[in-house]
């Protein structure tokens, strides 16, 4: 199907609004899972590392399953997938209210809700890109803030609901609110196809049709021969019984010759079809080999390899802070009366501000997006190192604000990826990076929780987290130094289609 030119407005702004609210309703509870994390610790009495798996799966499984989510949106469209994801998120949250143990939550909250979030994210981004071209960056920036605003509101909302109705009532009400995703998804009207004729099918696309034609021809020939033979023999036998046997033999000989000729023609067609299928399989295998060759070429790029390590270490070390900050405050024996706002809410609102601010900075020509991204990594590492020294609500709130703002570097990550590998390989490279980001999201909180279970304090855990983020930042900075570009210019044996990040005044 050929879609018409993106309107860059009109119904597209409705798409932006409903995508914003869809992400708000979908990601509010999983991102603010730190509030529920405390309740699950008390309810099930499991270790912090084991309990942290619930929130980490809910936030990481959607990234890990991003290729599957993309296939679903491509096959069924954004609107059906968005509506289906609403059922998954709402159903997962409601079922989680009846969880008898932590293992049940791994499935109901971690996998079901996580997959629903991944499907919805892919659907909202895809349909927004279809409706916008020149204003695509603005539209994507607006809908991405929905998750951050959801984190800010749901942190306080879930705490209030727990106080009023308990943990089970909170999950039921939040799940019921998520059903509004169905209304948002129903408004995601697909972009109408243009009136231009569809492109002619290639040989690969025509293969199934041709095969069906051959089968129909074979079936028709056999049926006609059978009917002709039967009718001819019946007529001769009724008119002239003595000649019936002789004419029947003659007729069978004639029809058998016709049958042989038709079958020979069909056999030739089958041979052609078999050869075509062999060529198709060979072509598919070649595409598969090309994919892995292109992946190997990407990893020959020093900056891309460092970026892959940096995003993995950043999510292992940086993501647990937003999940565990509430438990850090409780472990520091901070009086609940001092709480003016949940720390998770502070992280959420500052993440939204960080996304917008860093995105605006990335548009300035004098700002290098790679160095800007490295700066956020290094500052995040230092902020994580400072958490063990925070012993009051004020200091934890300030560190939460800093970490939330720096987490907004997700808005400039696509810029950095594009500058590193080129626009032609952006989709391939971004999919690989998001997969490893999902690994970091999935394993980061349990690792930090296991450190606490081992040492009975968070100091060592956040020293480890800060070290991971700083290591990733320094590796990325080292790979982006201008000296590598000078060496690359002197070398004449660069792999084909590789890109080196040129540190220039333009971002």
One digit per residue, the tens of pLDDT, for the chain of length 507 reads: 445 677 777 888 899 899 999 999 999 889 888 889 889 988 888 888 888 889 888 888 888 887 778 778 878 888 999 999 999 999 999 999 999 999 999 999 999 999 999 899 888 888 887 887 777 667 777 887 888 888 889 988 998 999 999 999 999 999 999 999 999 999 998 876 554 444 444 443 444 444 444 444 444 444 444 544 444 445 444 455 445 445 555 455 554 555 556 666 666 666 667 766 767 666 666 666 776 777 777 778 788 888 888 988 998 888 778 777 877 887 777 776 666 777 888 888 888 888 888 877 877 778 888 888 999 999 999 999 998 888 888 888 899 999 989 988 877 777 787 777 776 676 667 777 878 888 888 888 888 888 888 888 888 888 998 999 999 999 989 988 776 555 555 544 444 444 344 433 333
Listed in sequence order, the residues at least 6 apart from 131 whose beta carbon sits closer than 8 Å to its beta carbon are 6, 7, 8, 11, 12, 15, 139, 191
pLDDT on residue 201: 45
**For the CA atoms of 282, 285, 289, 294, what is the dihedral angle to 10 degrees?**
100
pLDDT on residue 440: 83
Task: Residue count of the chain, please give it.
Answer: 507
193: left (phi over 0), alpha (psi -120 to 50) or beta: beta
Instruction: Please return the burial class of 388, using the count of CB atoms within 10 Å of its CB with bins 0-12, 13-18 and 19+.
Output: middle
Listed in sequence order, the residues at least 6 apart from 493 whose beta carbon sits closer than 8 Å to its beta carbon are none
What is the CA angle 282-286-288, rounded to 5? 120
Q: What is the 3-state secondary structure (H, E, C) of 253-322?
A: HHHHHHHHHHHHHHHHHHHHHHHHHHHHHHHHHHHHHHHHHHHHHHHHCHHHHHHHHHHHHHHHHHHHHH
pLDDT on residue 298: 75
Distance CA 325, CA 34 (A): 7
Q: Look up residue 254 and give its two tokens.
A: 């004639």
End-to-end CA distance of the chain: 35
Distance CA 7, CA 360 (A): 24
- What separation in angstroms does the CA of 309 have from each of 160, 177, 360, 495? 39, 38, 26, 21
What long-range pairs does 426-434 form, CB within 8 A, spacing at least 24? 428/291, 428/294, 428/295, 428/298, 429/298, 429/304, 431/66, 431/67, 432/295, 432/298, 432/308, 433/307, 433/308, 433/311, 434/63, 434/66
pLDDT on residue 281: 67
The greatest distance separating any two alpha carbons of the chain, rounded to the nearest whole angstrom, comes to 115
- Whether 388 and 463 have beta carbons less than 8 Å apart is answered as yes
In the chain, what are the domains? Answer: 1-194 (1.20.1250.20), 282-485 (1.20.1250.20)
Distance CA 372, CA 416 (A): 9
Placement of tokens 């909180």 in the chain: 445
- Whether 139 and 16 have beta carbons less than 8 Å apart is answered as yes
Placement of tokens 């983020």 in the chain: 469
């Amino acid at each position: 199907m050929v879609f018409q030119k993106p309107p860059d407005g009109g119904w597209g702004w409705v798409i932006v609004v409903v995508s914003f609210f869809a992400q708000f309703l979908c990601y509010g509870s999983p991102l603010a899972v730190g509030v529920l994390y405390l309740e699950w610790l008390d309810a099930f009495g499991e270790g912090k590392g084991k309990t942290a798996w619930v929130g980490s799966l809910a936030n990481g499984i959607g990234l890990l399953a991003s290729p599957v989510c993309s296939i679903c949106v491509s096959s069924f469209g954004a609107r059906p997938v968005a509506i289906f994801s609403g059922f998954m998120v709402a159903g997962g949250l409601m079922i989680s209210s009846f969880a008898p143990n932590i293992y049940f939550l791994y499935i109901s909250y971690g996998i079901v809700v996580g997959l629903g979030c991944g499907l919805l994210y892919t659907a909202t981004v895809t349909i927004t890109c279809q409706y916008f071209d020149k204003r695509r960056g603005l539209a994507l920036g607006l809908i991405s803030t929905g998750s951050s605003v959801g984190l800010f509101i749901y942190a306080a909302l879930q705490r209030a609901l727990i106080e009023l109705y308990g943990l089970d009532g909170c999950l039921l009400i939040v799940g019921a609110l998520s059903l509004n995703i169905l209304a948002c998804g129903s408004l995601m009207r697909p972009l109408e196809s243009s009136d231009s004729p569809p492109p002619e099918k290639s040989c690969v696309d025509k293969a199934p049709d041709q095969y069906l034609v051959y089968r129909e021809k074979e079936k028709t020939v056999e049926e006609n021969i059978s009917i002709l033979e039967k009718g001819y023999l019946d007529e001769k036998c009724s008119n002239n019984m003595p000649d019936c046997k002789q004419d029947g033999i003659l007729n069978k000989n004639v029809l058998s010759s016709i049958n042989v000729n038709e079958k020979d023609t069909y056999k030739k067609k089958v041979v052609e079809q078999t050869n075509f299928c062999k060529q198709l399989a060979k072509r598919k295998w070649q595409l598969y080999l090309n994919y892995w060759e292109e992946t190997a070429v990407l990893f020959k790029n020093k900056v891309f390899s460092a970026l892959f390590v940096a995003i993995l270490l950043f999510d292992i070390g940086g993501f647990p802070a937003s999940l565990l900050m509430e438990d850090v405050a409780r472990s520091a024996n901070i009086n609940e009366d001092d709480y003016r706002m949940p720390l998770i809410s502070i992280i959420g609102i500052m993440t939204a501000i960080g996304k917008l601010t860093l995105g605006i900075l990335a548009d300035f020509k004098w700002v290098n997006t790679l160095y800007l991204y490295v700066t956020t990594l290094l500052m995040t590492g230092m902020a994580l190192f400072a958490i063990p020294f925070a012993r009051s609500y004020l200091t934890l709130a300030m560190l939460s604000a800093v970490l939330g703002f720096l987490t907004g570097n997700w808005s400039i990550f696509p810029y950095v990826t594009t500058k590193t590998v080129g626009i032609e390989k952006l989709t391939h490279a971004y999919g690989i990076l998001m997969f490893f980001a999902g690994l970091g999201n999935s394993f980061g909180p349990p690792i930090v929780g296991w450190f606490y279970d081992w040492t009975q304090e968070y100091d060592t855990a956040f020293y480890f987290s800060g070290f991971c983020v700083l290591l990733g930042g320094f590796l990325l900075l080292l790979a982006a130094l201008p000296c590598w570009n000078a060496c690359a210019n002197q070398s004449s044996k660069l792999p084909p289609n590789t890109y080196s990040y040129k540190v220039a005044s333009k971002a």
